[in-house]
A and B are shown apart, each in its own frame.
Chain A
Amino acid sequence: MAQKSLKSLAILSHKGGVGKSSIAVNIAVHLAKTHSVCLLDNDFHGPSLVTFFKKREDVKYINNYLLENEPLENCLQEISKELNSLLEGKIWVGFADPTPESIQQLIRIDQNASIKMLKSLMKMKKRLKEAPFNIDYLIIDCSPGTGYSTVNVMLTANSSLFIVKLSNADLYGTSQMIAGLYKQLKSRTLVLSNMIPKLFIDDRKTKEEIRTLIEKRFEHDIGEEGAVKFLGWIPSDLELQNIEFQEALKALKGLQSSRIIYTLEQPDHIFSTTLIDLIPILFEEEKPE
């Protein structure tokens, strides 16, 4: 029997707060409309998938699988039905442990622990192809910056997507980070700019001008033409910021709150349509023109 293929994507950033997890969740849920998807929280320093999905108490954290030999079945939660009964595919989520003890443990991660995690990740990729998972797409949300856990994911994923905010520090830092990683790994690297004002998205001329400048910056730092593919922009508008703010307030007041998954709940929103258009490029599934 032919081995089922699994496409994997690491989602990374130089700094935190660039919308990495939000993009990971939205891509994963969109793909789960028709396929089986595994979404993994590898951001051990600031786990955030728990803010999108409700974790069942009997499900173990993915840390337990990666570091403590807990069976994978006990560490992944199938959440398709809880999300939307219309999803034809399935989505399995691996939550990172958000407790202070776990975060402290992972901050102190050493070379021995890192290689154990790398081995577990590679074993996981094989296991996910089999029943009951039968996964088509694996999406891994990484910690910002370059730690062992991030390098582990880059070593195992087919492609790496860097999310960048258009601020000086982030753009420069991301470019340097990619240069350092690309030099050693030569892995397929993509860059997506998030949280761009919607007004800018509508200005085609300025958009192309800035795209050229960004591509030149990466080319200069990496020293290799075409090593990194710049995918474009994800817009943000006042409405989107307002919704996120309102949900954060609800959580502060102890009310039930969950972050909006746009590709599921508002598929026609510009955030969703832009992201959905990019998904085939992320997984090298572009149809020839």
Chain B
Amino acid sequence: MIVYAVYVISEDGRTLLSENFQSKEVPDAVLLGGLFTALQQMASAMTSQEQELESVIIEGLSYHIRSFGMIRIVLVTDVPRSPEETIQTLGLRFMKEYGEILVDWDSNLNIFNPFRNVIREIIGEDKSGIIINPIKKLNTGEIFNLPHLLQPTALALLSIGEGTVQEITEEINRNAPLDSLEVRKTLRKLQELGYIGIKYLEGNNIYFCTI
């Protein structure tokens, strides 16, 4: 299963927090909050037992929705099967941290920011199988236009196809010395720019690119 994003939405449809795990474009957080709240209300109105909408598939991505009192958690994945344990953990942890604050919340979204680390921690507990794909292809022109400090890392990755930080560092060091700390920084920057992806395999972060 690939986890693409997590959204925390208030009862009235405002997105309190969203966290993306993927370069692939997922819907705008503000729009998504309103959309799912409206869908939820529509689903409740249309069913006699006031049953809530649990999952919806849009353009190949599955949106799993669960209510936890004053909030809803939306987890976006690549599979229709609901990741029940993860979504429950996310909702309960959020309510434990912010339940009381939400009672008379002053609309300050910044107070939820520390929960980003909790989301990453929960999603990261079982990272195996998570793949963050690059959104841009590497080619001569793109590499040429990269800041020159990123070029050796991009070239090394292009040469070996995929690898751990250690393997990429070894490849770079065939031509010029660069320590693994610097390589990590350049990998992070290349990932932010959308040129490289990451997958978690047997406890290792494997970086890769597409051409």
Contact = CB atoms under 8 A, between A and B. Distances in A.
Interface in B144-175: 144-146, 148, 151, 155, 158-159, 174-175
B140 A158 contact: no
Contacts, number: 51
Given A114-B141, A155-B140, A158-B175, A186 B159 contact: no
A112 B174 CA distance: 25
A98 B169 CA distance: 39
Contacts of A155: 140, 143-144, 151, 155
A119 B211 CA distance: 10
B158 A114 contact: no
Nearest to A116: B211
Nearest to A185: B148
A114 B141 CA distance: 9
* Most chain B CB atoms below 10 A, which of A117, A119, A123, A126: A119
A3 B174 contact: yes
A174 B140 CA distance: 21
Interface residues of A, number: 21
Given A123-B159, A155-B143, A158-B175, A115 B148 contact: no
Nearest to B146: A184
B145 A115 contact: no
* Most chain B CB atoms below 10 A, which of A3, A117, A184: A184
Interface residues of B, number: 17
A13 B143 CA distance: 21
B139 interface: yes
A148 B151 contact: no
B76 interface: no
A39 interface: no
B138 interface: yes
Interface string A104-148: 000000011011111100110010000000000000000000001
A97 B63 CA distance: 54
A151 B148 CA distance: 13
B81 to A, nearest CB: 37
Interface in A152-187: 152, 155-156, 158, 184-186
A119 B139 contact: no
Interface of A: 3, 111-112, 114-119, 122-123, 126, 148, 151-152, 155-156, 158, 184-186
Query: 8 shortest A-B CB distances, which residue pairs?
Result: A114-B140, A111-B139, A115-B139, A122-B159, A186-B148, A115-B211, A148-B140, A151-B144
Given A118-B155, A119-B211, 7 more contacts: A115-B139, A115-B158, A118-B158, A123-B159, A126-B174, A148-B140, A155-B155
